[in-house]
Amino acid sequence: MEMIKIDKKDWNKGLDRSRKTYRLVGPVKRAGEDLAGFYELADKEHPDMGAADTVLSAKSVVYPQTEVMFRYTTDKNSPDCNRLKRPAADYSPRAVIGIRPYDAAAILMLKKNFDTPDYRDPYWCDAYEACTFVGLAVDAPSSTDFSTSTGSGPFSEKGLDVLLVDMAGHYLAKVLTDKGAAYMKAAGWQRAADAKAAAQQIEKKKKAAEALIVSSVSFDKIARKSILDLYKADFWDDVAFSCINCGTCTYVCPTCWCFDIQDESKGKTGVRYKNWDSCMYPLFSLHGSGHNPRGTKTMRARQRFMHKLKYFLDKYDDGIMCVGCGRCVRSCPVNIDIRRVCELMNRYGPDPDACAV
Amino acid sequence: MLAYTDRIKEIARALLTDCRVELVIGFRKGTVPMMNEPCFINSPDEADQLVWDSNCGINLANYLANRTEKIGIVAKGCDSRNIATHIIENKIGRDQLFIIGVPCQGMIDRRKVNAMFDGEVREVVESDGLVTVRGADFEKSFEKSELLQQNCSVCTHRNPVIFDEMAADPVDEQQGVDRYADVREIEAMDPQQRWDAFEKLLAPCIRCYACRNACPLCYCPTCFVDEARPQWVGKSQNPVDVRTFHFLRAYHCAGRCTDCGACERACPVGINMRVFTKKLEKDCFESFGWEAGLSPDVRPPLDTYRPEDPDDFIK
Amino acid sequence: MEHMGIEPGRLQFSWVSSAESTKFVKVVNEVSETIKKLGPNDRFVKKEIKVA
């Protein structure tokens, strides 16, 4: 594990140097006042490495909101008649600069869905493989950050190729993978830091950052509760009452992976694309027959929390489908708080740890 | 504000104790600064959950459409106008409602407050028109009037227009406010500038539909953007589809919008889509002298015909 | 529509009775003349979806 010291005055220069072989993606202000999300950086544009996190997660880097799957034509005169052609997309190496550790951890969760032994989503996998994740450790976690209780954390290395730690005048870069080492080389950042001292400095900052985390969730008892008990729990009406069934929580979420497939055709040609979808929408589960198994907003809100905090937990036995970034808490227009719901679920019904009498 | 909360609690408790309503819809304290969560209570012991302060910007009329119970509802000026609109549009019956009127002094624009500071805003406290904003390493006080949502700062109907009981004495309405400065700014542009201005405005839109779903007017069983047969609008991030959604939604609100600001407040990416609805609101005011929801007994201009209706756009 | 940036004149309203054939011809001519002057409409025309 290599430690590299990057002087801040070499930062932009290195980024620019790496553009020869990498497309750069990072948090920048685009179209509006907000640091809305991660975008491909234009020439000479540099990522915002400030403390503020983006409104949307970094998932769009590997999983764009709208993505063309294929084009087709039914024109008999075309040599491509009735063929489904995947559009040429740019899967050359891209470096994701300034991704937060919890977002990188979330991308590994997405991987569980898009890259499985049985099915491999080529769009997601190709984009993922093209990426080198150069993460920025979080020094000042927000009050809605509960990442430490989800198995991630402000200095988590999960899913990252490089972890950058801001040391005021310079960054300490902890190179975690070969991909990460290759990027550091491309950027020309090669000044090795004293590994032991750097590790100590990082450890100190990590402890300090973790100490600043003020919120947490517990889900230790959820796995041992029955699905049906939780499903029928009496708190769902109260939790879901304020829900307006918009898709904000699912769209800002780094771990929500559901998509919808749409066709648009004009004359003899057409395109099939996928869009982010949201379990908050009535259309999400509407059957062709007109029946909707999740016909009420309470059912839809319950689905979101049950999927994240129970079904996922049961299926993968690897924690909840949430990295604790706090985005849904901050962005929900009506202040539905996953931390509260998780607590309700964890506390619901008989305590599985209680002594039998 | 504290007095408002106490009075709301008292009224709600009495309503539920006497079984005059089955539930009361109001706000409970939120989990993040400048946010309260809409909630319902159905037993008198829960009345203590209810709160009222300058963070109750969500329009509670949104929670009424098609409900069948007898309901107590907390309503500020704009909520009451949307309740009146609901009554006109048969989404709820007047006899089903006990309206707890709240004279409103405007809601805090949380986006504006958050944008004022580099660090995270951790706590916002208000007392006597003074709002104190605190973060880990800063503290600053403001006159509340500096922090109001834009729609609140130009509001001329702060007091509920219909109510069964008031939680406090009416407040003075704001006089001499210029309601449409922002609309005139767009009207002054040439077509290309307007097109570009809206293109820029809508660029961050992620089509989460929070604006639509926070809007009490948007109660259609299936929204036109969700229709599949026929499909009117594409569902991708194509700017044409995004724009079609926004401007058609605004049209559907013509003559009904009370400029409550719920749409703008709900938007996760800070789009002021009120510039669409406000243009129509202004036109309705100028053409028909109409302000939506002032009375449940007057039919709105778009479903009435008067010989003197302006028709100079017809050749 | 004009507020959104559609050019004035592209959208027109008229009221023509079935008995007013001359008015109908006049309106159609005027509309097509205005539209021709404005040229093809490029607003609200969908271009290709962007590939990431």
Predicted pLDDT of residue A353: 78
Predicted pLDDT of residue C18: 93
Chain B contact probe: residue of A143, A261, A286, A344 with most B CBs at under 10 A: A143
The chain B residue lying nearest A35, using CA atoms, is: B269
Instruction: Tell me the two tokens of residue A124.
Output: 């997601």
Confidence of residue A71 (pLDDT cuts 50, 70, 90): very high
Report the length, in residues, of chain A.
Answer: 357
Confidence of residue B312 (pLDDT cuts 50, 70, 90): confident
Report the gap between the CA of B57 and the closest CA in chain C (Å): 28
Predicted pLDDT of residue A35: 81
Q: Does C52 touch chain A (CB under 8 A)?
A: yes
DSSP state at residue A309: I
SS3 content of chain B, % helix, strand, coil (to 5): 35, 15, 50
Predicted pLDDT of residue B1: 64
pLDDT beyond 70 at A268: yes
pLDDT beyond 70 at A42: yes
Predicted pLDDT of residue B130: 93
Amino acid, res. B125 = V
A239 contacts A336 by C-beta, under 8 angstroms: yes
Residue A96 φ then ψ, to 5°: -100, 105
Q: Cβ separation of B32 and A335 shorter than 8 Å?
A: yes
The chain A residue lying nearest B271, using CA atoms, is: A32
Confidence of residue B308 (pLDDT cuts 50, 70, 90): confident
pLDDT beyond 90 at A33: no
B58 contacts B214 by C-beta, under 8 angstroms: yes
Touching partners of B (3+ C-beta pairs < 8 Å) = A, C
Q: Pick the range with the lowest mean pLDDT from A36-50, A133-147, B144-158, C34-48.
A: C34-48
Q: What is the pLDDT averaged over residues A211-227? A: 94
Q: What angle, rounded to 10 degrees, do the helices at A297-306 and A338-347 form?
A: 80
Rounded CA-CA distance B74/B53 in Å is 12
Predicted pLDDT of residue B313: 81
Nearest to A242 among B38, B204, B269 (CB): B38
Give the number of other CB atoms < 10 A from CB of residue B96. 16
Partners of B127 in beta bridges: B130
Touching partners of A (3+ C-beta pairs < 8 Å) = B, C
| Exposure on the CB side of residue B4, measured as CA atoms within 13 A | 22
Predicted pLDDT of residue A237: 95
The chain B residue lying nearest A247, using CA atoms, is: B208
Partners of A28 in beta bridges: A37
Confidence of residue A31 (pLDDT cuts 50, 70, 90): low
Q: What is the pLDDT averaged over residues B241-255? A: 93
Partners of B133 in beta bridges: B124, B140
* Structural domain boundaries in chain C: 1-7+14-40
CA A133 to each of CA A157, A177, A327, B126: distance values in angstroms, whole numbers, following the listed order: 10, 10, 20, 43
Predicted pLDDT of residue A280: 96
pLDDT beyond 70 at C49: no
Instruction: Tell me the two tokens of residue A138.
Output: 């979080």
Q: Does A321 touch chain C (CB under 8 A)?
A: no
Confidence of residue B309 (pLDDT cuts 50, 70, 90): confident
Whether the bond between A141 and the residue before it is cis, its omega within 30 degrees of 0, is no
Q: Cβ separation of A245 and B213 shorter than 8 Å?
A: yes
Q: Pick the range with the lowest mean pLDDT from A230-239, B77-86, B123-132.
A: B123-132
Q: Does A242 touch chain B (CB under 8 A)?
A: yes
Predicted pLDDT of residue B307: 87
pLDDT beyond 80 at B293: yes
Q: Give A335's contacts in chain B (Cβ within 8 Å).
A: 30-32, 35-37
pLDDT beyond 70 at A32: no
Amino acid, res. A99 = I
Report the gap between the CA of C47 and the closest CA in chain B (Å): 8
Predicted pLDDT of residue A356: 64
Residue A314 contacts by C-beta under 8 Å, 6 or more apart in sequence?
Answer: A223, A227
pLDDT in tens, C2-33: 888 888 889 899 999 999 999 999 999 999 99
Q: What is the pLDDT averaged over residues B240-248? A: 93
pLDDT beyond 80 at B2: no
Q: Does A66 touch chain C (CB under 8 A)?
A: yes
pLDDT beyond 60 at B212: yes
pLDDT beyond 60 at A3: yes
End-to-end CA distance of chain C: 31
Predicted pLDDT of residue C44: 83
Confidence of residue B54 (pLDDT cuts 50, 70, 90): very high
Rounded CA-CA distance A280/A22 in Å is 37
Q: Cβ separation of C49 and A127 shorter than 8 Å?
A: no
